[in-house]
Amino acid sequence: MPWLRVVEAFKSPPGSRVTIKGWVRTRRDSKAGMSFVAVGDGSCFEPIQLVVPSSLANYESEVLRLTTGCSVEAEGELVASQGKGQAVEVQATSLKVVGWVDDPDTYPVSAKRHTFEYLRDVAHLRVRTNTFGAVARLRHTLAMGIHRFFDERGYFWVHTPIVTASDCEGAGEMFRVSTLDALNPARTPEGRVDWAQDFFAKEAYLTVSGQLNVETYACALSRVYTFGPTFRAENSNTSRHLAEFWMVEPEMAFADIHTNMDVAESFIKSLFRCALDERADDMAFFNQHIDKTVIDTLTKTIESPFERITYTEAVNILKKQIASGKKFEYPVEWGANLQAEHERCLTEEVFKRPVIVRDYPKQIKAFYMRLNNDGRTVAAMDVLVPGIGEIIGGSQREERLDVLDARLEETKLQKEAYWWYRDLRRYGTVPHCGFGLGFERLILACSGMQNIRDVIPFPRTPGNAKF
């Protein structure tokens, strides 16, 4: 009898003889001489119902003792269901218990509602719930969608390093990577820690971005992207930050900020479409139980163009909002960073759809962003979406060596440390651009989930690296 995943069983014709393997979700007994056992194996949202007759030899001894979480292996015939609630079910001819649940009373994910906060403490078991199973499948589907999007457009996936010994990565606290004895490190004659004796013979860290590395590949392969884990040692305690998260960073040669915006917009839309088309079962669940507007939001986002404005226009719009009575905690002033409340106002109240803001004052952006002709703004862009805020940050890169050097000087960075980055501008430089998309923030947007800790299997945050 062929072993079918539940998702395959649902697609098989009635009369098929099948083997199902999975975990018990619920059990209901009927005095009509049978038990109904819902079994899920994670292959799709819906569990499949086994109809287990009381005539089985182990019915009294085992089937009636099944509880949520037990693993089972059942054989039977796929039949049209006599009951409501499911089209097909398995009329079981045998049911073998593979693994019991030790103590059903304390099984952490019993068949009842649990809060997400509680489930984070049992992250090893929470994926057995409806919500976390759906998130896990959506996460996979979006990851595959990302690779497909770029593959179809001729981008090459570049595996930029996780460990970086070049201190070129700029802003953001980094995690140190070291094999020195923390209690008794090698020391220089002056008594300082002697990093020359460390594993990489210099200070090393976990990457905060693959961008600088991937630029080198863009300046040879033309269209490339990275997709991998990223680490930030910031003490951020919010529902939108993780110490370890996944980031997608495309980088394109012979392309300017406008191409960058075009790619970012079609990228987001493509992924929203991917979620709706390929995870319809899980999306229906999210829409019903997590966020009743999520499918509508994704659909509308796909159908309408993103708003595109400059930072200067954004400031003017926000000032008009204030003039007509809108209250902000922080002032709106040209030259200052847009606060979360300002970004939210733009995307949620003024335009009510995704907004791309570009051309920010150079003093609030990174050294590598291309200086505009006005001499005071750079070709940077942020994509803001309702409910999440910033989901993408990117820019056209400064390809002119003299301008780059001037910016390095302005921001008090050491030219020598960026020697290979500067080489790209010395040898056949080209206009190029790219952006970074927070993968978990994308999953938040697609699912309607509220907390970023619930869309990654094992979240790492300040003070927490359990599991």
Partner RNA sequence: UCCCCGAUAGCUCAAUGGUAGAGCGAGCGGCUGUUAACCGCUAGGUUCUAGGUUCGAGUCCUAGUCGGGGAGCCA
Report the site for RNA in 356-415 (rule: CB under 7 A): 389-393
Name the residue among 209, 258, 206 with its Cα closest to residue 437: 209
C-beta separation of 439 from 240 below 8 A: no
CB of 348 to RNA, least distance (A): 12
Is residue 235 at the binding interface for RNA, with CB under 7 A as the rule?
yes
* Range in contact with RNA (rule: CB under 7 A) among 107-115, 145-153, 221-229, 257-265: 107-115
Name the residue among 249, 277, 255, 243 with its Cα closest to residue 452: 243
Q: Among residues 34, 95, 378, 433, which is the contact residue for RNA, using CB under 7 A?
A: 34
35 bridge partner residues: 29, 52
**Looking at beta carbons only, is 38 or 195 nearer to RNA?**
38
Look-up: residue for tokens 């390929």? Answer: 278
Q: How many residues bind RNA (CB under 7 A)?
A: 74
Q: Which is it for strands 432-438 and 48-53: parallel, antiparallel or unpaired?
A: unpaired
Touching RNA, residues 254-313 (CB under 7 A): none
Is residue 165 at the binding interface for RNA, with CB under 7 A as the rule?
no
Q: Among residues 67, 130, 222, 312, which is the contact residue for RNA, using CB under 7 A?
A: 67
Is residue 339 at the binding interface for RNA, with CB under 7 A as the rule?
yes
CB of 174 to RNA, least distance (A): 12
* Range in contact with RNA (rule: CB under 7 A) among 136-144, 198-206, 404-412, 435-443: 435-443
Q: Among residues 44, 51, 356, 443, which is the contact residue for RNA, using CB under 7 A?
A: 51
Name the residue among 84, 73, 31 with its Cα closest to residue 50: 73
**Looking at beta carbons only, is 194 or 390 nearer to RNA?**
390
Amino acid type, 268: I
**Looking at beta carbons only, is 236 or 299 nearer to RNA?**
236
CB of 406 to RNA, least distance (A): 21
Is residue 71 at the binding interface for RNA, with CB under 7 A as the rule?
no
* Range in contact with RNA (rule: CB under 7 A) among 302-310, 406-414, 418-426, 444-452: 444-452
In 181-249, where does DSSP find H-type helix? 211-221
Torsion of CA 266, 293, 129, 8, to 10 degrees: -60
Name the residue among 387, 396, 400 with its Cα closest to residue 355: 387
Q: Which two tokens stand for residue 387?
A: 């409910």
Name the residue among 204, 194, 193 with its Cα closest to residue 165: 204
